[in-house]
Amino acid sequence: MSPDDPTDRPDGPGEGMLIGDKLVADPTDDGPAGATADDDATADPTADPGTDEGRPTIDPRIRQRRLAIRRSQGRRRLRWIGGVVVAAVLILALFGLAYTPWFGAQAVSVTGSHPHTPDAAIVDAAGLQHHPPLISVNPGAISKKVESLPFIATARVRRHWPDGVQIAVTERVPVVQMAGPGTSWSLLDGHGRTLEVVPDRLPALVVYIVHTPTAGIPPAALGRSLPAAAGPGLEVSRTLPPAFSSQVVSVTVAADGSISMALDSGISVLFGTDDDRTAKYEDIASILAHGTLHATSVIDVTVPESPTVSG
């Protein structure tokens, strides 16, 4: 590098320019990096003296208002949380109280006509003899338990807070009787349900007999019902008209499903199937009222409206 070259300059910043034998400051040089000389002269003239690095500050009143809003929101959240906690505690307390003796099934009443079923048997079947909490009493489940008793046809259960349960029942009516078990007799309702077992035959009740190709059908166990094969004869037994129902001593279902009846006068009635019962009942009633019959007579109404009498 020639000392006389006016373009020559020292390498470092802030060293100026060498012109001839003189070192002249470089007019384009801003000075050393980070220099802050005469800061007041170079400061932003638009800056607010009350600002931080030129950013405007928040008015104290606005700041206080924002703080008040935050505190109010916090208090509302605390009140809401406290309300939820109090409600949960009250619910748990009431739930626990419901399982105390104060809310037990203390007053159990049984209504409806039920001469064959004592109140105590109904209460025991319902599971209320030990006064369980009323909240645990399930009316539907209790109804089914009570209806499992042999004579009970329907049971309706209602809860009455704080400590009452009412059971309204209706009973089944014996329609026929069957021999068995053993030397006893079973009383059945019109649907073949065994209601009671008695030692002797009842004179005022129709005897029901069902035959199969192999043997006779015995009565079902107490509280149980006969099989479907016994259904047609039961339908006839429970729908006998008043005109001659008191004369019927027995109803028999043969192995082929045909039905016959024996009357207290010794007259036999061949009924056939249980179809067209109304027409057949009218034929029987008319023949009994107007026909010339004997103890050995047989009334055949297997063909409706075309009855015959023999014997």
pLDDT of residue 57: 79
Largest CA-CA distance found in the chain, in angstroms, rounded: 171
Of 65 and 123, the one with more pLDDT: 123
- Residue 186 shares a structural domain with residue 208: yes
Question: Any idea what the CATH number is for the domain that residue 300 is in?
Answer: 3.40.50
Segment 260-306, tens digit of pLDDT:
999 999 999 999 999 999 999 999 999 999 988 999 999 999 998 89
Domain count within the chain? 3
Which range of residues forms the domain containing residue 285? Answer: 176-310
Residue 255 lies in a domain: yes
Domain edge (last residue) among 48, 68, 98: 98
Task: Tell whether 257 and 145 lie within a shared domain.
Answer: no
Q: How far apart are CA 260 and CA 278, in angstroms?
A: 16
Distance CA 125, CA 155 (A): 11
For residue 238, tell me if it sits in a domain.
yes
In angstroms, the CA 247 to CA 206 distance is: 9
pLDDT of residue 34: 43
Give SS3 for 107: strand
In a domain? residue 249: yes
- In whole angstroms, what is the distance from residue 249 CA to residue 146 CA? 33
The 8-class DSSP code of residue 221 comes to P
Tell me the pLDDT tens digit for each residue of 208-239: 999 988 889 999 999 999 999 899 999 999 99
**Distance, C-alpha 209 to centroid of its chain:** 41
pLDDT at 54: 56
**pLDDT above 60 (res 130):** yes
Q: Do 243 and 154 share a structural domain? A: no
Q: Across the chain, what does the average pLDDT equal?
A: 84
DSSP alpha helix (H) spans, 50-190: 60-98, 119-126, 139-147
Whole-model pTM?
0.68
For position 109, which CATH number holds? Answer: 3.10.20.310
Is 271 inside a domain boundary? Answer: yes
pLDDT at 245 over 50: yes
- Say what the pLDDT of residue 210 is: 96
> Are residues 232 and 270 in contact, defined by beta-carbon separation less than 8 angstroms?
no
For 86-118, the pLDDT digits (tens) are: 888 777 666 665 566 777 889 999 999 999 999
Residues 186-216: pLDDT tens digits?
999 999 999 999 999 999 899 999 998 888 9
109 with 164: CB under 8 angstroms? yes
With respect to residue 17, please indicate whether it lies within any of the assigned structural domains.
no
Residue at 165 is within a domain: yes
Distance CA 137, CA 170 (A): 21
Asked if 171 contacts 115 with a C-beta cutoff of 8 angstroms, the reply is yes
Length, in residues, of the chain? 311
Same domain, 280 and 223: yes
Tell me, yes or no, whether 213 and 89 share the same domain.
Answer: no
Burial class (CB in 10 A: 0-12, 13-18, 19+), 103: middle
Identify the CA nearest to 198 among candidates 188, 180, 185. 185
Q: Please, what sign has the CA dihedral across residues 216, 219, 220, 221?
A: negative
pLDDT at 83: 83
Q: Are 218 and 232 in a shared domain? A: yes
Mean per-residue pLDDT, 134-151: 95
Task: Answer whether residue 13 shows pLDDT above 80.
Answer: no
Indicate the DSSP class of residue 177. E
3-class SS shares of the chain: helix, strand, coil, % to 5: 30, 25, 45
Domain boundary among 171, 187, 216: 171
The answer to whether the beta carbons of residues 127 and 137 sit under 8 Å apart is: no
Whether residue 186 is found in the same domain as residue 247? yes
Flag whether 131 is in a domain.
yes
Integer Cα distance of 236 and 269 in angstroms: 12
Mean pLDDT confidence for 131-145: 94
